[in-house]
Amino acid sequence: MAEPLLQIAGLTYAYSDGTEALRGVDLAIDAGEKVGLVGQNGSGKSTLLMCVSGLYAGKGSVRVEGVQLTASRLREIRGRVGLIFQSPDDQLFMPTLADDLAFGPVNLGLDAHEVGHRVEDAAEQMGLSQLLDRPPHHLSMGQKRNAAIASVLAMRPALLLMDEPSSNLDPRSRRRLIEVLTRLNATMLIASHDLALVGTVCRRVAVIDEGRIVADGAAAEILGNGELMERHGLEIWQGARG
């Protein structure tokens, strides 16, 4: 049986003041899965993404495509994992969108032809092909969000980690983002309060509370379980009833 693309076992993390953010997280994601991660504020969602990407040094085991996350293999892990921050302005900083999409591939040491190919491919996937010459700060929030995702896709990571991808989007941009994520062929772990986005994009959902995974299963069953959701400070997704 093939090893999961992402395998987390006994992952813990404490902040400098001693606050425990993760308390023994176990989670496995197979290649091609889109998994939603839901939980109330302070439950550990963002911290888990930071630990999986190697930005925070947790204790326990994190394996991506069979590679163990250690200090000596951190660069390798970061080449396999793409993290999309809650604010796209944290990821877009070059003079043009094309430059932003090229930044990662260039730093991978790829030749100009391959860099150009990846920029064009990522822009097409996210509907940005006509905007490559635009300065990122001239883009709408929805376009910036897509651009941030495209900048990570250009790296061709094995795993996409998304932190609140629909935050600060107007309704139309949010709908378009959901459409894009639904058709995107990628392995994803999406941390979000947007239950409709999670329920539409993901077939599987994990609930995190006080730094532990407390439920994991089919999206409709988890998001439609009123008792479970209420117990962990969440509301049901009405779409799960349909």
Q: How many CB atoms lie within 10 A of CB 93?
A: 12
Angstrom distance (rounded) from CA 81 to CA 123: 19
pTM of the model: 0.92
Overall average pLDDT of the 168-175 stretch: 90
Domain ranges of the chain: 6-90+158-241
Q: Strand, coil or helix: what is 2?
A: coil
Q: CA neighbours within 13 Å on the CB side: how many for 35? A: 25
Measure CA 233 to chain center.
Answer: 22
**Is the CATH number of domain 6-90+158-241 3.20.20.70?**
no
The per-residue pLDDT for range 176-218, each reduced to its tens digit, is: 899 989 988 899 999 999 999 999 999 999 999 999 999 999 9
